[in-house]
Amino acid sequence: MTRVRFEPIQATGQGTWVRPEQRTDMESSGQGKWNQHGMDWLTRCHAIAASDLFMQIGHPEDQVILLKATLLRAAAEGVNWRELYRSLYDRWHTQCPHFPDPDTMAAEIEQHPSRSNET
């Protein structure tokens, strides 16, 4: 399994892209075992978290809304969104203090209408 580790980035005022360092060993970062589908969703979430556009335009809450929508889509496709968000939060909460803690995000996602017909 190939692991992708996102390195810390500096905001440049321009669009910032992260060059991932590929890892083939199991890291003990709490990500657990991710299949390719889960890694695809993790990469999407990291791209949202890494974007400084939301702070530049003064609407960091829109970043959280987009992230929540992405987590809901991942959940609909069978991805463990709790593990996905925990990994994301562990990596980004210091740079993105507006991200809700995992328990708060879980409460928001669980009460979302799209989740009402799932068990």
DSSP state of 30: S
pLDDT digits (tens, 9 = 90+) for 31-45: 456 688 889 999 999
Q: Are the C-beta atoms of 71 and 81 separated by less than 8 Å? A: yes
pLDDT digits (tens, 9 = 90+) for 44-81: 999 999 999 998 899 999 999 999 999 999 999 999 99
> Could you give the angle at which helices 36-50 and 81-92 cross, rounded to 10 degrees?
40
By C-alpha distance, which of 6, 18, 114, 108 is closest to 61? 108
